[in-house]
Amino acid sequence: MPQPDMGLADAVDAFVEQLESTLEPIVTSTLQRSPEQLRKDLALDAFNLSAAFIDCDDSHSDAELAAFIVALRQHFPDLLADDTTPTDVRSAGIITGKREWLNQPSGLFNSLVAADQSAGTAYSSVYYEHALRMAHTAISIDDYTSRFELSGVEKFRSMLLRSMKSGGVNSGASVATTGGPAAAAAVAAPEEELPPERPLDDLLDELDQLIGLDAVKEEVKLVAALLKVQKLREHRGLPVIESSRHLIFVGNPGTGKTTVARLLAQIYRTLNVVDKGHLIETDRGGLVAGFVGQTAMKVSEVFDRAEQGVLLIDEAYSLTRGGEKDFGREAIDAVVKLVEDRRDRVVVILAGYPDEMEDLVEANPGMASRFPRTISFDDYNDDELLQIFELIANKQEYHLDDSGEAAVLDWFAAQHRGHGFGNGRSARNLFEASVARHATRLVKVEDPTDHDLITLIDTDIGPPVVEEIEESDEAE
């Protein structure tokens, strides 16, 4: 049997022992269990969770099974005897099919949510914290963590959070615990005081609150999960497959690229990829100079400002558009060099239209390996654009009546979706035009009511005129 990874054993022990200690005040009164039964229930949840995470990719390696045996043997000595081997576990089908266990919370977790809901406590959040530690540890055992494993952990994480939120659990409530790993300390910039580092769950929750972008949200969560696993392996002295953290965002303007980049920068900070987690935005004008030798210096200055943060280069493909005397290609060469030289200090995101960005990568050797992951931002559909319109309107204390909603939907339905469609920008333009028409209408009303002053109706929206598409791209 291979020398087992002890990380899972540590995570399982922490799950059982920390929760056993934390739940002691409510074990008999609220949970209506004996202390012995609680420990058995905790061990069973640890068993099922560990097996489920190993089963996520339907590939049960010897390393994973050896770690599983060592981690759970003390709790299930009859099933996992001293001479049990990975082959024995595989042949007995102990792991096979266990991933189905991730589709719904355990009975114990549901009991904790109910207890929290009744007493305003946060016992379920302690379960959540240690269950996620087991999850990330289990999928970090093999050198390569598959997309199926990352997706399985993310779905499990979201499921527990939804259950806690629906139960009104205050995850910030105080619960007495002992021991456990300390949170990583935030690193402050010497030049200025940084805002407090935000918990990963808060950032992912903010991501989930964005309208639409389902595929983007999934990709960002997988990026976060992979980084967490890599950091875990690095902490335990395990080999980490080196992978680029730089990204390409493709899509029309107004699809939320800058918003997501800003969140991603904070996620990178929380996961200790960068120290500051700020976002610097630039484009061709911020990188290309007009004289020989100045472009490389200009690019270097932009990277200096993005140090320990994220650099978003909008319309990156425009760097290749120019004549023989254009310095755009010099800027590309400088970017590629600094991406490599500062790979541990700056994360770079290139943004632009899909076809043009594909051409950019194909035309520049070295870019494909440095920017291996592309995240596509699809155009919003009509209902999503209506939600964006309403969000903008509500912030300005306007709202649509039924006729206004129908007019907004008709307006967006008439728009051509294609290269350069404005998406969120179009929603803002329509809102501003509607407010102007609303003012023109109300100036003729002798004594408008408060309702009149805040309500947009169909005539304020206007007929569904096709918006002229601009040729310039903006990351936002």
The structural domain count of the chain equals 3
Domain CATH code at residue 362: 3.40.50.300
Say if residue 357 is in the same domain as residue 389: no
Pick the closest to residue 309 from 424, 214, 192, 210 (CA basis): 192
In this structure, the strands spanning 455-456 and 399-400 are parallel
d(CA 169, CA 189): 34
Pick the closest to residue 287 from 337, 236, 237, 222 (CA basis): 337
* Residue 468 belongs to some domain of the structure: no
Say if residue 119 is in the same domain as residue 83: yes
Say if residue 401 is in the same domain as residue 370: no
Q: What is the residue type of 161?
A: L
* Residue 185 belongs to some domain of the structure: no
* Residue 289 belongs to some domain of the structure: yes
Q: In what order do the strands lie in the sheet with 373-377?
A: 279-282, 309-313, 346-352, 247-251, 373-377
pLDDT band at 168 (very low <50, low <70, confident <90, very high): confident
* Residue 278 belongs to some domain of the structure: yes
Q: How far is CA 127 from CA 49, 180, 225, 257, in A?
A: 12, 13, 19, 34
Contacts of 256 (CB under 8 A, 6+ apart): 210, 212, 213, 216, 377, 424, 476
Rounded to the nearest 10 degrees, what angle do helices 123-138 and 7-22 cross at?
Answer: 170
Q: DSSP for 401-442?
A: -HHHHHHHHHHHHTSPPSTT--THHHHHHHHHHHHHHHHHHH
* Per-residue pLDDT tens over the stretch 323-374: 556 677 888 888 989 998 998 899 999 999 988 898 888 877 788 888 989 9
Say if residue 373 is in the same domain as residue 386: no
DSSP annotation of 280: E
Pick the closest to residue 247 from 265, 274, 269, 229 (CA basis): 265
- Which residues pair with residue 456 across a beta bridge? 400
Residue 180 pLDDT > 50: no
pLDDT band at 72 (very low <50, low <70, confident <90, very high): very high
pLDDT band at 53 (very low <50, low <70, confident <90, very high): very high
Q: How far is CA 260 from CA 4, 20, 198, 267, 353, in A?
A: 39, 39, 15, 10, 16
CB 163 within 8 Å of CB 109: yes
Q: Which helix (H) or strand (E) holds 349?
A: strand 346-352
Q: What is the residue type of 465?
A: V
Residue 175 pLDDT > 60: no
Q: Which residue has the higher pLDDT, 174 or 124?
A: 124
Return the pLDDT at 93.
92
Domain CATH code at residue 435: 1.10.8.60
Q: Which residue has the higher pLDDT, 285 or 182?
A: 285
In this structure, the strands spanning 455-456 and 346-352 are unpaired
Q: CA Rg, the chain, in Å?
A: 27
Say if residue 405 is in the same domain as residue 368: no
Of 8-17, 71-80, 132-141, 459-468, give the lowest mean pLDDT range: 459-468
DSSP annotation of 194: P
* Residue 472 belongs to some domain of the structure: no
* Per-residue pLDDT tens over the stretch 311-327: 999 998 888 776 556 67
Say if residue 134 is in the same domain as residue 276: no
Q: How far is CA 285 from the centre of its chain?
A: 30
For residue 124, the enclosing domain spans 7-166
Q: How far is CA 368 from CA 51, 166, 357, 359, in A?
A: 36, 43, 11, 11
Instruction: Report the mean per-residue pLDDT for the chain.
Output: 87
Residue finishing a domain among 148, 166, 184: 166
CB 389 within 8 Å of CB 399: no
Residue 174 pLDDT > 60: no
Say if residue 259 is in the same domain as residue 299: yes
d(CA 186, CA 275): 8
Say if residue 286 is in the same domain as residue 418: no
To the nearest 10°, report the CA torsion of 185, 187, 192, 198.
Answer: -60
d(CA 459, CA 434): 9
Residue 110 pLDDT > 50: yes
pLDDT band at 464 (very low <50, low <70, confident <90, very high): confident
pLDDT band at 285 (very low <50, low <70, confident <90, very high): confident
